[in-house]
Structure 1
Amino acid sequence: MFTKTFAALIAAAVVLGAPTPGPAPDQTNILQFALSLEHLESAFYSGALAQYDAQAFADAGFPDWVRGRYEQIMLHEQTHVATLQKALGDQAPQPCQYTFPYTDPRSFVATSFAIEGVGAAAYLGAAQFIDDKATLGVAASILTIEERQVAWMSSAVLKQQPWDGPFETPLTPTGAYSLAAQFITSCPSSNPPLPVTLLPALSISTSTPWPGSTIQLTFDNPSGADAGYLMWLSGLEAVFTSIDGNKQATVPDNLQGTVYVGVVSSEQTPVDDASMVTGLAIVQMPFDSMASDVDNE
């Protein structure tokens, strides 16, 4: 359910009103970026829970404790917003206007898994730009609770795996924003520019691909960059497969759980904005409790 819900968003163009590209990341604009994501998450949970009461969740087949935990997560996100606003003071960005694809409690749950996972990956990727140890400690504390929320959504609610492997996947601000931007319709003009580069959206023919299969890619390339590789981000590893003249690529082996994919111009690592031809899409490769989630090769 998650993959169908979120994959549909990736096919959309980058939305009107998204922030313009900002400067190279530093501690202040990384915190502004984090607050922008927390505003989005807070609006997502509060809007859905205002729309779907306990009976709606029960009618959708969820036990009472599911909505109760989401109420707690909503309060977590509101607290994160308040904490970052206090840290940034008058440099804090204001909330944007958002649109979310849920139409019932089940599609809300599916989308929450995607949004929460992107938020956690964004914190992990941005940690390197935070110099102050006290601030880094607060960001790490937010990161760990976001990861615990993702694990709960995946395992307890969606009945999938509670983790992807021995390492979490960090995302660059641009990579994370390319996913979050699909939910933003407009932002206040007074908001500071974020440390991101706006990229064309990527959609793929299936969001649950099999290893060794061929997938079809759809994307624009207005810059005419060399769109030669599809990058697969899983944990601390980046795997690259070639893209042929028909915009097709082969799915690599040994990938499990949530994997982020994007078109890049080279096999350079670590990946930077200059090598990214498109934003990211998400694929899901579930594995059961009897499978090994460690690549021993």
Structure 2
Amino acid sequence: MIGNALLQCAGLAALANLPLIRAVPFLQTPTTTFSSAETVTPAIVSVMNVTSHGPFTGPPASTTGALTASTILASEIPSAPPAPGTFNYTADGKLHGPEPAPFTPNGGLGTNGSAPVSRPQSDYDYQSLALALYQEWIEWDLFHFGLKNFSTNQFNSSGLNADDRFLIQYMADQEVGHATLLTNILGAQAPKQCTYNYPVSNVREFLDFNQKLTRVGEAGAYGFIPHLNNRPAAQLLLQSVAVEARQQLIFRQLGGQFPMPVWHIPAIPQSWAWTLLAPYISSCPTNQSRLIWQNFPALSILNQPNPARINASDAFNETTGAGINTLSTANITNSQLCQNATNPTNQSLNCAPAITQNRTIPLSYPGRQVFLHWDTPGKLVGPNNSYVTNTTARVPRWAAWVSQLNVTYSRLLNINLRNQTAFTFQPNVSTWDHDPAINGTMFLALTDARLNVTPFNLSQLNPHVAALGVYQAG
């Protein structure tokens, strides 16, 4: 193309005077030219090897309960109408204000050219980001725990090979980056790595606990990111949570579940995430930063669907504990383990690790009777048994199903306050046509009222929550 252009510009008369243009030979070995010195990579936060595990056995904590200020302005944040000006903008696709710069619409937060500074700007910011850091630390340890405590043969028997184990190792390494990010944002008092107690005894239980715990972390971050005062920190955390979401999907695949059976991922308040996370933290370093968030009593789903079964809904008392309600394989016969379902005429009964599994028998279904038991408040949980479960709710009357974009209530029946038991029926509702609202790894709360809330203001429900757990709907 260069030679042709020269000929056209020079004209035919000058053709004889042009130098001969030779083709440049193609270089078989690519080379790279460095135009600047290599940048310095910041150090990652220091991490310990897999720590000791098990329940807390130390002396009673000298300080118990959540962090609290000397002044509390009200028993709960009152409901209010939409903020002034909410409906002022005309959403017609036209521009209604001057452009700050070419191709830049008027409005937005943090768009005025100010240099971004990623640091907490309120107690809300600090407490939320500290909670996220507790989550990153436990995930780093949990992933390593499984690789260290279960043998190669145990992983192979569960259908996971060396490449799968390397993937889990790599996801553990990702948590170092997440923990480093949040530690640098929070500063010197950022929570440190703790010791933990996991309710798992085999690879299948390990995978299920992972997919539930990562859903708690993912949904918990989605719940508070839009409310952070510091938008640069919110941006960085969101980029970490995008990876967390992929981890949750992968652990579902490794456990033989459909990777993403919902159209929208639920979001939960910080107190819900802390309630579900704290029971698995045994002890933390002295002077560890304390959190303000509430610890609700744990909810047990007595017939929690068990994805390790061919028919998950046949399960009863097959979890390793309340709250997250991790599956247990202890009482499942080999013939009922879906991983062993090898009938060539019905491969959809099988739940071996796979990119996707379309199982014939759903884990749960609308109209399913769900049996519930909840703890009384006052239980010591969390680091050094220094947090106390509590609730301000009266007698629970409703089950609040929190999935996708919806909070759907079903009435509690046969309530027995002495035994702390009741049952309800899984509602038959859809978010959109052909999209069942109640699906996937989701959340179930017992409440004393039916509040109209959205994922953006779900924390308004906190004063009415009597107990909380994870429900495996699909």
Using the size of structure 1 for normalisation, the TM-score is 0.83
Which of residues 141, 162, 178 is equivalent to 1:64? 162
1:20 aligned residue = 65
- What SS does structure 2 have at the residue aligned with 1:90? coil
The residue type paired with residue 277 of structure 2 is A
How far apart, CA to CA, are the structure 1 residues paired with 2:198 and 2:139? 11
**1:221 Cα deviation (Å)?**
4.7
- What SS does structure 1 have at the residue aligned with 2:208? helix
The residue type paired with residue 225 of structure 1 is R
2:216 aligned residue = 118
1:88 aligned residue = 186
Contact persistence 1:20–1:194 (CA under 8 A): no
1:230 aligned residue = 399
Gaps of 5+ in 2: 1-59, 70-122, 306-363, 378-391, 416-421, 429-435
How far apart, CA to CA, are the structure 1 residues paired with 2:130 and 2:271? 14
1:250 aligned residue = 425
Contact persistence 1:262–1:281 (CA under 8 A): yes
RMSD: 2.2
Larger Rg: 2
Q: How big is each residue's C-alpha offset from its partner over 1:272-293, in whole Å with a ceiling of 9 and x where there is no partner? A: 3212111x2122233xxxxxxx
How far apart, CA to CA, are the structure 2 residues paired with 1:106 and 1:181? 22
The range that moved more, 222-231 or 137-146, is 222-231
**1:55 Cα deviation (Å)?**
4.4
Contact persistence 1:229–1:264 (CA under 8 A): yes
Using the size of structure 2 for normalisation, the TM-score is 0.53
2:370 aligned residue = 215
1:158-173 matches, within 5 Å, as 158-173=255-270
2:463 aligned residue = 274
How far apart, CA to CA, are the structure 1 residues paired with 2:410 and 2:218? 26
The residue type paired with residue 93 of structure 1 is P
Q: How big is each residue's C-alpha offset from its partner over 1:141-169, in whole Å with a ceiling of 9 and x where there is no partner? A: 011100011112213x1232221322110
Contact persistence 1:231–1:240 (CA under 8 A): yes
How far apart, CA to CA, are the structure 2 residues paired with 1:192 and 1:130? 19
1:10 aligned residue = none
2:442 aligned residue = 259
- What SS does structure 2 have at the residue aligned with 1:260? strand
The residue type paired with residue 394 of structure 2 is A
Contact persistence 1:19–1:187 (CA under 8 A): no
- What SS does structure 2 have at the residue aligned with 1:233? strand
How far apart, CA to CA, are the structure 2 residues paired with 1:191 and 1:265? 34
**1:176 Cα deviation (Å)?**
1.1
1:75 aligned residue = 173
1:128-147 matches, within 5 Å, as 128-147=226-245
The residue type paired with residue 400 of structure 2 is M
How far apart, CA to CA, are the structure 2 residues paired with 1:54 and 1:214? 39
Structure with bigger helix share is 1
The residue type paired with residue 250 of structure 1 is F
Question: Which structure is higher in RCO with an 8 Å CA cutoff and minimum separation 6?
Answer: 1
Q: How big is each residue's C-alpha offset from its partner over 1:227-251, in whole Å with a ceiling of 9 and x where there is no partner? A: 1111101112100011124322111
The range that moved more, 223-232 or 68-77, is 223-232
Contact persistence 1:42–1:77 (CA under 8 A): yes
Contact persistence 2:443–2:471 (CA under 8 A): yes
2:410 aligned residue = 241
Q: Percent of pairs identical after alignment?
A: 22
Contact persistence 2:393–2:448 (CA under 8 A): no
How far apart, CA to CA, are the structure 1 residues paired with 2:264 and 2:393? 34
2:280 aligned residue = 183
2:302 aligned residue = 205
Contact persistence 1:173–1:195 (CA under 8 A): no
Does residue 192 of the first structure (1) align with residue 375 of the second (2)? Answer: no
